[in-house]
Amino acid sequence: MDQFSVKVFVRLRPSVLDPAGEATKSASIKLGAEGIKSLRIGKMIELKIEGNGETEVREKIDLLCDRLFANTVIEDYEYSLEKL
C-alpha cells in the first residue's frame, strides 16, 4: 500500500456571490492594504490516504470531492497529491 498526502481546495464558483469574501475585502482595505482587486474565501481540506497506487487514490479523492467535500452546484474543487 502506498500512502499519499492530499490537499483539496474547495472554492465558490465565480458566479456565486461570496459575501464573507466581500466583507473581508472591505476590512482589508480598512487595514490600509492597497490594490486588492478581489478576495474570495474557500476551504482547504488535508488528508492522508492509503491505496494501491496513484490512480486508485485519485479515484477515491474524486469521489470524495464530488460527493462530499464540494457541492458542485455552488463550488469547484481541485487537489494536489504527494506520495509519502
Partner 1 sequence: MDNFTVGVVVFPGSNCDRDVSWALEGCLDIRTKYLWHESSDLSDVDAIVLPGGFSYGDYLRCGAIARFSPLINALDEFVKSGKRVLGICNGFQILTESGFLPGALVANKNLNFICDDVELDIVSSKGGWFNNGDEKQTIKLPIAHGEGRYHCDSDTLKRLLDNELITLRYKNNPNGSSFDIAGITNEKGNVLGLMPHPERACDETIGGTDGLYTLKSLILK
User: Which residue, 34, 69, 35, 22, is CA-closest to 49?
Assistant: 69
Residue 73 binds to partner 1 (criterion: CB under 8 A): yes
Query: Which range, of 32-40, 52-60, 63-71, 76-84, touches partner 1 by CB under 8 A?
Result: 63-71
Smallest distance from partner 1 to CB 65, Å = 12
Closest CA to 75 of 20, 9, 19, 22: 9
C-alpha cell belonging to residue 76: 469547484
- Within residues 14-53, the interface with partner 1 by CB under 8 A covers 15-17, 19-20, 23
For partner 1, which is the closer residue by CB, 16 or 36?
16
